[in-house]
Amino acid sequence: MAKKTIADVDVSGKAVLMRVDFNVPLDDALKITDDRRITEALPSIKSVLSRGGRVILMSHLGRPEGKDPAADAKYSLKPVADRLKELLSNDVLFATDTIGTDAKAKAAALKDGQVLLLENVRFNKGEKKGEAEYVGVLATFGDVYCNDAFGTCHRSEGSMVGVPNAMGAKPKVCGFLVEKEIKFLSEAIAHPQRPFVAIVGGAKVSDKINVINNLLKICDQVLIGGAMAYTFALAQGGNVGKSRVEKDKLDLAKELLASGGPKLVLPLDTHCGDAFKGDCNKVTVKAGQIPDDYEGFDIGPETIAKFKTVIAAAKTVVWNGPMGVFEMPPFDAGTRAVAQAIVDSHSTSIIGGGDSAAAIQEFGMADKVTHVSTGGGASLEMLEGKKFEAVELLDDK
């Protein structure tokens, strides 16, 4: 069911309480190193401001677990407020608390055309538990609730579920980012153009078991890369040397191999090293034939060629998880080749957040694919086919 967006409600003269995902990376000097999550929220914020409304923003940053903002500045959203002011060229106020005296005063005094960012919601213990007093106060700040925080849509914390529920009959809508994420991750997967190919990488089979199971039901082929491939290789009786494996998940891997059949495409060869560094001694071997003192760090050239052929024929591609240690050349070759193959395929291409999103950004290809998700955990759960309470409670069109 399509959900109403911020564009569907009259915001003139109204306060829009908007949950965003400003969980941005900061360096030791508390400088933002990647502001993509802020820029992704700008269209929804600008939509309200341009139509005569005012915006009160809520977000988390890291996991402060209810600590005092003054005692742990690395979790404060103040650097985000400063960056947002630069990006908007607009008045952006900052409250030093979430539901305290400063937040209440600034929310009450906010004028149309202005933006207020509340301090990190996770500084308040009521956020995780969705405590009634906490969500009740936040609910009084807005005339309209807007969820534009896809990265936390799989969570049922106070600002995601408790606050909109406490707002009663007031409009509850999604922002443009959440609308876009739902469109690609949910609708494109429900009605894909075929062949539909999924590429699943990363370290652990256990992290992706539900995703792989769901994708095997709906995809034409599922390509497996990353360290999880070594668990599959071990399950098939292969030798994996010092490679990272989940020995307690071998039965699970065997079940997936049996249920996946020819749909499940495993690596043909492996690029290995004898130490975790780019200038180690290297060797490329057949899958399942890794020497005892070596570790698998990437897919090999035969696998790259095979994967490129499959991807080239695809009409829809979903990618979640790198093929190897993409941060450490030359073991970035497999991940880079897969990214380039996706770009070259001209398919509907959906990059499912997390390390895949980081890789495609690093390779300078993010603007050459159809959609790069902003939510790692959320995109995984949506690929599993899960429903999100934080989205379900929003008003239907």
Question: Do 54 and 126 sit in the same domain of this protein?
Answer: yes
Number of domains in the chain: 2
Tokens read off for 174? 């999604």
Q: What is the pLDDT of residues 138-165, one digit of tens each?
A: 999 999 999 999 989 989 999 999 999 9
Question: Do 238 and 122 sit in the same domain of this protein?
Answer: no
Question: Do 200 and 311 sit in the same domain of this protein?
Answer: yes
pLDDT band at 181 (very low <50, low <70, confident <90, very high): confident
Share of the chain above pLDDT 90, in %: 76
- Residue 185 forms part of a structural domain: no
Answer whether residue 174 shows pLDDT above 90: yes
Question: Do 216 and 237 sit in the same domain of this protein?
Answer: yes
- pLDDT attached to residue 91: 83
| HEC-encoded secondary structure of the chain | CCECEHHHCCCCCCEEEEEECCCCCECCCCCECCCHHHHHHHHHHHHHHHCCCEEEEECCCCCCCCCCCCCCHHHCCHHHHHHHHHHHCCCEEECCCCCCHHHHHHHHHCCCCCEEECCCHHHCCHHHHCCHHHHHHHHCCCCEEEEECHHHCCCCCHHHHHHHHHCCCCCEEECHHHHHHHHHHHHHHHCCCCCEEEEECCCCHHHHHHHHHHHHHHCCEEEECCCHHHHHHHHCCCEECCCCCCHHHHHHHHHHHHHHHHHEECCCEEEEECCCCCCCCEEEEECCEECCCCEEEEECHHHHHHHHHHHHCCCEEEEECCCCCCCCCCCCHHHHHHHHHHHHHCCEEEECCHHHHHHHHHCCCHHHCCEECCCHHHHHHHHCCCCCHHHHCCCEC
Share of the chain above pLDDT 70, in %: 98
Question: Do 123 and 162 sit in the same domain of this protein?
Answer: yes
Q: Rounded to an integer, what distance in angstroms lies between the CA atom of residue 221 and that of residue 309?
A: 12
Question: Do 201 and 158 sit in the same domain of this protein?
Answer: no
Q: Rounded to an integer, what distance in angstroms lies between the CA atom of residue 151 and that of residue 62?
A: 12
Answer whether residue 38 shows pLDDT above 90: yes
Final residue of a structural domain among 157, 179, 201: 179
- pLDDT attached to residue 387: 84
Question: Do 58 and 171 sit in the same domain of this protein?
Answer: yes
- Residue 58 sits in a domain whose CATH number is 3.40.50.1260
Contact call for residues 288 and 238 (beta carbons, < 8 A)? yes
- Vertex 31: Cα angle to 30 and 37 (nearest 5): 110
| Mean pLDDT for the stretch of residues 84-103 | 93
| Mean pLDDT for the stretch of residues 277-281 | 95
Contact call for residues 232 and 266 (beta carbons, < 8 A)? yes
Contact call for residues 125 and 154 (beta carbons, < 8 A)? no
Final residue of a structural domain among 179, 201, 231: 179
Q: Rounded to an integer, what distance in angstroms lies between the CA atom of residue 251 and that of residue 248?
A: 8
- Residue 51 forms part of a structural domain: yes
Q: What is the pLDDT of residues 349-394, one digit of tens each?
A: 999 867 888 899 889 999 999 998 877 778 878 777 788 899 999 9
- pLDDT attached to residue 21: 94
CB-based burial of residue 306 (10 Å sphere; 0-12 exposed, 13-18 middle, 19+ buried)?
middle
Q: With both helix axes pointing from N to C terminus, report the angle between 301-312 and 333-345 in degrees, rounded to the nearest 10.
A: 20
- pLDDT attached to residue 68: 67
Question: Do 166 and 43 sit in the same domain of this protein?
Answer: yes
**What pairing do the DSSP bridges indicate for beta strands 15-20 and 54-58?**
parallel
Contact call for residues 193 and 387 (beta carbons, < 8 A)? no
| Mean pLDDT for the stretch of residues 272-278 | 96
Residue 154 structural domain: 6-179
- pLDDT attached to residue 70: 64
Question: Do 92 and 165 sit in the same domain of this protein?
Answer: yes
| Mean pLDDT for the stretch of residues 231-247 | 95
Tell me what the pLDDT averaged over the chain comes to: 92
- pLDDT attached to residue 304: 98
- pLDDT attached to residue 1: 59
- pLDDT attached to residue 114: 96
Answer whether residue 65 shows pLDDT above 80: no
pLDDT band at 71 (very low <50, low <70, confident <90, very high): low
Contact call for residues 319 and 340 (beta carbons, < 8 A)? no
| Mean pLDDT for the stretch of residues 326-344 | 96
Longest dimension (CA), the chain: 69
Q: Rounded to an integer, what distance in angstroms lies between the CA atom of residue 123 and that of residue 73?
A: 11
- Residue 388 forms part of a structural domain: no
- pLDDT attached to residue 151: 86
This prediction's pTM: 0.82
| Mean pLDDT for the stretch of residues 71-84 | 89
Residues 6 or more apart whose Cβ sits within 8 Å of residue 126:
99, 133, 134, 135, 158
Question: Do 168 and 299 sit in the same domain of this protein?
Answer: no
- pLDDT attached to residue 257: 94
- pLDDT attached to residue 66: 67
Tokens read off for 169? 């009959």
Q: Which residues are catalytic?
A: 37, 204, 354, 377
Question: Do 204 and 77 sit in the same domain of this protein?
Answer: no
User: Residue 145 forms beta bridges with which residues?
Assistant: 17, 172
